[in-house]
């Protein structure tokens, strides 16, 4: 007869095996878990019916259960499935070209606005995208109060990307009635560049001009933001730079790379990271370079031989981004452009969703501690999902359901005055500066004394 002590020891010894078995079964059936990180002083929001809720608790309550495609049971399979073509989430766009007003970052950029379906086409633009006519553009301003989403796509992508359309489509449907636009990175989505400047991971200037223009053109529309991968990094930096002046009511970032140097090292450490992910991204950027080569090479600092020999993402960044922006190394660029510290400066409701099995970002790049001290930010990590994937059976994406639920909850049930109170005026302070090209200063740090 077994004594109680022996039984107890046997059960304790079996716990790791049971945990492994349950975890395996969970993956086999596509069930994923969520974990949330936010500060103890998470902002209190007032509901429109007079109640109150902590922002962290709101995020916990609104994000749906994770049930992904069981055949895509790890981050690699989820991420690689994203290359499968699909005609779902059809969105039509009208494009307008803007000229950057900031003399430090001159050049043209394109914004695509989601519109109702139409018949005409333009072979020089992505599918279902045409330019606004002069007459259409002259009538675009409106006093309506429809919520509007500003989207930033991932590396070398554009408004046509399926991951982006999966998130935008539910919100702009007749059911919810949102408006939306996509800020295309310079040279992306078949847009032309008019200066040697492409986008980079810190290029917040085009989204800043876009948001300011939207505020003037649609004065009554509540503005929200969503960013994907590199676009998530840019959006996080933008929201942090704006602080309490930010014109967005809230933002969501999906698969943000956060600490670019950490993610770069992760990609270079494994065969799949280097030969599949990094090489694919490098190849996509090389295609982008080839399209705009004549203009980019007007920058004498760019060595065409170095660009042509670049196979991987970090090599492309070394050859193009460093030469374009004055960084001495690609790791200096990564450290300066990373969005991890921007989390501390965020002053609007901000939800970040990252998968722990993301093979491109890596769990070690996720800023758990930063969000654990944040008042306005909430980080949700999922055990499954890959990079910008979260595929369910049938081809839908969990991230689209999560984003739709979050934005609609916040917009329809929460009083914005309860979380925007006490913020500084929305006017940006005048900051005179010499009209010169941006330069990298290795001693300029975020931590400095007031006398400097």
Look at residues 350, 256, 364, 262 and name the one whose alpha carbon lies nearest to residue 38: 350
Within 13 Å and on the Cβ side, how many CA atoms surround 310?
Answer: 28
**31 strand-pairing partners:** 67
CA angle 389, 392, 395 (to 5 degrees): 80
Question: What would the two tokens of residue 101 be?
Answer: 């007003």
Q: How many CB atoms lie within 10 A of CB 336?
A: 18
229 classed as catalytic: yes
Q: Is 294 left (phi over 0), alpha (psi -120 to 50) or beta?
A: alpha
Q: Please indicate whether residue 358 is annotated as part of the active site.
A: yes
Q: Choose, from 191, 229, 338, 342, the residue flagged as catalytic.
A: 229
Please identify which of the residues 153, 336, 358, 374 carries the catalytic annotation: 358
Q: Which of 185, 224, 236, 182 lies closest to 365, judged by CA?
A: 236
- How far is CA 223 from each of CA 150, 327, 341, 410, 422, rounded to the nearest angstrom? 7, 34, 24, 12, 19
Q: Which residues contact 308 (CB under 8 A, 6 or more apart)?
A: none
Cβ contact 371:264 at 8 Å: no
**CA distance readout (Å), 50 to 45, 46, 172, 417, 423:** 10, 6, 28, 12, 22
Strand order in the sheet with 34-37: 34-37, 377-382, 350-355, 250-254, 223-228, 148-152, 179-183, 108-115, 92-99, 129-131
Q: Which residues of 279-306 are buried (b: 16+ CB within 10 A; e: fewer)?
A: bebbbebbebbebbeebbeeeeebeeee
d(CA 24, CA 30): 10
Tell me, rounded to whole angstroms, the distance of Cα 96 from its chain centroid: 22
Q: 398-413 vs 55-62: helix axis angle to the nearest 10?
A: 130
Assigned token pair, 24: 């395996």
Q: Which of 255, 338, 387, 389 does the annotation list as catalytic?
A: 387
Residues recognised as catalytic: 229, 358, 387
């Amino acid at each position: 007869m077994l004594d109680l002590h022996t039984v107890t020891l046997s059960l304790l010894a079996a716990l790791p095996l049971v945990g492994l078995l349950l975890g395996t079964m969970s993956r086999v059936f596509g069930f994923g878990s969520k974990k949330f990180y936010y500060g103890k002083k998470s902002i209190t929001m007032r509901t429109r019916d007079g109640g109150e809720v902590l922002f962290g608790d709101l995020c916990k309550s609104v994000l749906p259960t994770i049930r992904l495609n069981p055949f895509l049971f790890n981050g690699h399979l989820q991420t690689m499935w994203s290359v499968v073509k699909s005609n779902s989430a059809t969105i039509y766009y009208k494009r307008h070209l803007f000229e950057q007003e900031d003399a430090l970052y001159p050049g043209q950029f394109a914004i695509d606005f989601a519109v109702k379906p139409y018949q005409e086409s333009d072979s020089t633009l992505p599918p279902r995208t045409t330019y606004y006519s002069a007459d259409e553009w002259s009538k675009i301003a409106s006093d309506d109060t429809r919520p509007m989403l500003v989207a930033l796509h991932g590396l070398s992508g554009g408004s046509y990307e399926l991951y982006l359309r999966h998130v935008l489509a539910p919100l702009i449907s007749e059911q919810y009635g949102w408006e939306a636009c996509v800020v295309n990175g310079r040279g992306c989505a078949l847009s032309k560049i008019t200066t040697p400047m492409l986008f980079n991971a810190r290029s917040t200037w085009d989204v800043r001009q876009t948001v300011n223009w939207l505020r003037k053109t649609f004065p009554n529309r509540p503005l929200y933001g969503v960013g994907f991968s590199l676009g998530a990094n840019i959006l996080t930096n933008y929201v942090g730079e704006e602080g309490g002046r930010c014109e967005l009511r809230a933002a969501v970032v999906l698969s943000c790379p956060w600490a670019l140097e950490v993610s770069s090292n992760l990609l270079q450490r494994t065969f799949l990271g280097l030969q599949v992910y990094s090489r694919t991204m490098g190849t996509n950027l090389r295609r982008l370079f080839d399209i705009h080569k004549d203009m980019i090479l007007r920058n004498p600092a760019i060595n065409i031989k170095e660009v042509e020999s670049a196979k991987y993402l970090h090599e492309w960044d070394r050859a193009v981004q460093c030469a374009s922006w004055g960084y001495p190394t690609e790791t200096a660029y990564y450290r300066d452009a990373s969005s991890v510290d921007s989390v501390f400066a965020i002053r609007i409701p901000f939800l970040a969703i990252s998968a722990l099995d993301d093979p491109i970002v890596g769990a070690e790049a996720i800023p758990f501690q930063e969000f654990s001290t944040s008042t306005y930010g909430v980080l949700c990590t999922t055990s499954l999902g890959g990079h910008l994937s979260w595929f369910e059976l049938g081809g839908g994406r969990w991230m689209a359901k999560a984003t739709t639920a979050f934005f609609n909850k916040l917009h329809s049930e929460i009083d914005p005055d309860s979380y925007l109170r006490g913020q500084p005026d929305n006017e940006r302070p005048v900051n005179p500066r010499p009209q010169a090209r941006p330069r990298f200063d290795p001693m300029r740090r975020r931590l400095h004394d007031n006398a400097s």
